[in-house]
Chain A
């Protein structure tokens, strides 16, 4: 299995609080991605990174920001969490040109009350 960990694995928070999710990889892959998974929607891309300090928005980026200061870490921040951000969040990585397969982490279940 690809070396991808996500922390925390579960989190319950209140509306309006900031939340940061961490993705850590040991594969030295260049590309990293954050998705959210919601019933009936499959996985939707929030943000992605194509190198250290190189990030861009995905399909559903409103309310989220990311940072990548090291190859191995990709942080997803909810500046002020809302109930609509209750979801399961997955990190994924991809090597090389980023045109190949993605390897997924175990996910973080976030509940915003």
Chain B
């Protein structure tokens, strides 16, 4: 069965500092990978996705993520964090192909706090 692990439950960074949120997945083949962000009291918004091709993908709000097959990782990065980036971030994995019906498996989430 597929699974997603986000090792960091809570991360605190200073505004302007760089950010890396970790995501490791377990799946038998190349999956589809996603990062979502959830602001307090809101639904989830897609930041970026990886289906195939270039392993470094760019997303909205200045985020990027790198797919590393050898490490089964899909870490999210941002070079300079803004106070508005404070939110909860979820990594998700979905099967690439087959009759998966687009079902996603989510990680536990990482809460990001940004200090001024």
Q: Which residues of A contact B (CB under 8 A)?
A: 4, 31, 33, 35, 40-45, 48, 50, 56, 58-59, 90, 92, 94, 97-107
Contact = CB atoms under 8 A, between A and B. Distances in A.
Contact of A100 (B95, B102, B106): B102
Contacts of A94: 102
A59 B106 CA distance: 11
Chain B interface size, as a band, is: 20 to 34
Interface in B1-59: 4, 6, 9, 32, 34, 36, 42-46, 49
B47 to A, nearest CB: 10
A42 B109 contact: yes
Nearest to B109: A42
- Grouping DSSP codes into helix (H, G, I), strand (E, B) and loop, the A interface class, with mixed when no group exceeds half, is strand
24 contacts: A31-B101, A40-B9, A41-B108, A42-B90, A42-B108, A43-B92, A45-B103, A48-B101, A48-B103, A50-B101, A94-B102, A97-B102, A98-B100, A98-B101, A99-B32, A99-B95, A99-B102, A100-B49, A100-B102, A101-B34, A102-B104, A103-B46, A104-B36, A104-B44
Given A41-B108, A42-B106, A43-B90, 15 more contacts: A31-B101, A31-B102, A40-B9, A40-B108, A43-B44, A45-B103, A50-B101, A94-B102, A97-B102, A98-B102, A99-B100, A99-B102, A101-B34, A102-B46, A106-B43
